[in-house]
Every structure is written in C-alpha cells, then in structure tokens.
Amino acid sequence: MRIDVLTIFPDLIRDVLKYSIPRRAIDAGLVDVVAHDLRDYADDKHKTIDDSPYGGGAGMIFKPEPIAHALKALPSGGHVVFLTPQGRPFTQSVANALSLTDHLILLCGHYRGIDERVREHYVDDEISIGDYVLSGGELPALVVVDALIRLIPGAIGDAESALEDSFQNGLLDCAWYTRPREFEGATVPQALLSGDREKVAQWRRDNARQRTRARRPDLLESQ
C-alpha cells in the first residue's frame, strides 16, 4: 500500500511515523508513506500556497495550482481524500474499506480551507475525524494513516488483535485483565480464569454488549 500525504508540514507527518506500529510496518516494506511539501509545487519564487478569499472575509485559502501540480506529479489512479470537518465521519468500517486501496492520497488543508475548484475536480472523498475544528489536516491524516496501517496484514504481531478492536463488530471492545489476579481488592472475573475457551468467549461477548449499551447505546440502535 502507498500513502502520499500533501501538506505544508511534511516533517510533522514524518516525525510521528517514526514510532511504534507505523514505523515497523514502514521498515518492513508493508506500506510506503511519503509526505510532500505543497510549497515545492508553488508557481512563484516565494513558494506562495495561499491567498485571500474572493469576496473578502477572514483567513487565507489554499491556492488551487500547488495542489493540482502535486497531484499531477504523483502516479495516476490514487484515491484522493481531503481531510475536513465537512467530510463523512471516519469510522472503523471506513478504515476497513480504505485499507483495501492500493494508493491513497491524503490532502491536508490549513488556514480557512482550499479553493473549491480543487474539491470539485480533484478530490474523490472527504473525511472528518470528528465534529470539531483543528489547525490543519495533518493530525487527522495521521489518525487515518495509523488506523489503516493496523489493518495491513503483518503490521501487528497478532492479526486477530486488530479484528477484535472496538467497532469491528459494531460493539465496543470488552474489558481486559492481566496479572495479578487481585489488585487493591478487585479480582479478575472467574470466567476468564476457568480455562474454558467457550466460557471466556461468551463472557467477552456479553461484556462487550453490556459496555456498548452503557457507553454507546447508539451503536446498538444502528444494528
């Protein structure tokens, strides 16, 4: 899988991906993540990538030319995703679908936004990681990249672990315990100590549903 990130802060993307599962997956050649500086695709010597909006108003707008030049310089056929609060919600099912994409291009906005003509003619998809506004699209892009890398076969040591994450089956994950058996008077549920795989599986299913009903009943309503 190849992921290209178009941004004005490429070092931010590169630095975060130096750690943990993303770093191991990149080093193993399971995914190629390349951060591109949009300023490198500006037309003028000052590397101008933004301008004031037509009609007036506060804030600056990304000019269309640098983005278009950057996209045209990449291999054709990539799925272009613009990170914006106006996009569709990023969910586990969306991550699952995007993880099957061979080439993903993530466009990070900044300032007030990007020229609408870029969205109309170059963007295939728009994604939001939540109903709030951030300074730019770099953090949402990193959220998307991390979520996708976890789903790539071989990226994490135990592939079954990713399949048991919250939201994979429409429920929150169950509670998990490790040693010691007793901690500050609280003990591990007996079913998990039974050694009976079916009892353990049933306890986890029941606990996941109970936890979802208590914390995210909307997930049950949508099933």
Q: Exposed, middle or buried: residue 147 (CB in 10 Å: 0-12, 13-18, 19+)?
A: buried
- How far apart CA 49 and CA 41 sit, in angstroms, is 8
pLDDT in tens, 83-116: 999 999 999 999 999 999 999 999 999 888 999 9
Tell me which of 126, 151, 176 is where a domain ends.
151
Are 138 and 81 members of one domain? yes
- How far apart CA 64 and CA 169 sit, in angstroms, is 40
Phi, psi of 141 (to 5 degrees): -60, -40
Any domain includes 162: no
Residue with tokens 């070092």: 11
- CB of 126 closer than 8 Å to CB of 84: yes
Are 112 and 36 members of one domain? yes
Q: In this predicted structure, what is the pLDDT of residue 222?
A: 74
- Work out whether strand 50-51 and strand 79-89 pair parallel, antiparallel, or are unpaired: unpaired
Are 75 and 119 members of one domain? yes
- How far apart CA 174 and CA 169 sit, in angstroms, is 12
Are 22 and 113 members of one domain? yes
Spatial neighbors of 204 by CB under 8 A, at least 6 apart, are 174
Are 10 and 115 members of one domain? yes
Are 182 and 142 members of one domain? no
Domain that holds residue 214: 167-221
Are 204 and 171 members of one domain? yes
Residue with tokens 């936890």: 211
Q: In this predicted structure, what is the pLDDT of residue 69?
A: 97
Are 131 and 187 members of one domain? no
Q: What Cα–Cα distance (Å) separates residue 201 from each residue in 32, 170, 178, 216?
A: 36, 17, 16, 21
Question: Domain with 22 in it: what CATH number?
Answer: 3.40.1280.10
Count of domains for the chain: 2
User: Model-level pTM?
Assistant: 0.89
Extract the residue ranges of the chain whose pLDDT is less than 50: none
Are 174 and 140 members of one domain? no
- Kindly state the tokens that stand for 110: 């900044």
**Residue 98's closest CA among 51, 147, 132?**
147
Any domain includes 161: no
Any domain includes 156: no
- Kindly state the tokens that stand for 133: 């506004």
Q: In this predicted structure, what is the pLDDT of residue 170?
A: 84
Residue type, 175: A
Are 99 and 47 members of one domain? yes
Are 143 and 181 members of one domain? no
Are 31 and 61 members of one domain? yes
- CB of 62 closer than 8 Å to CB of 114: yes
Tell me which of 151, 182, 210 is where a domain ends.
151
Q: At what angle do helices 20-27 and 138-151 cross, to 10 degrees?
A: 60
Question: Domain with 213 in it: what CATH number?
Answer: 1.10.1270.20
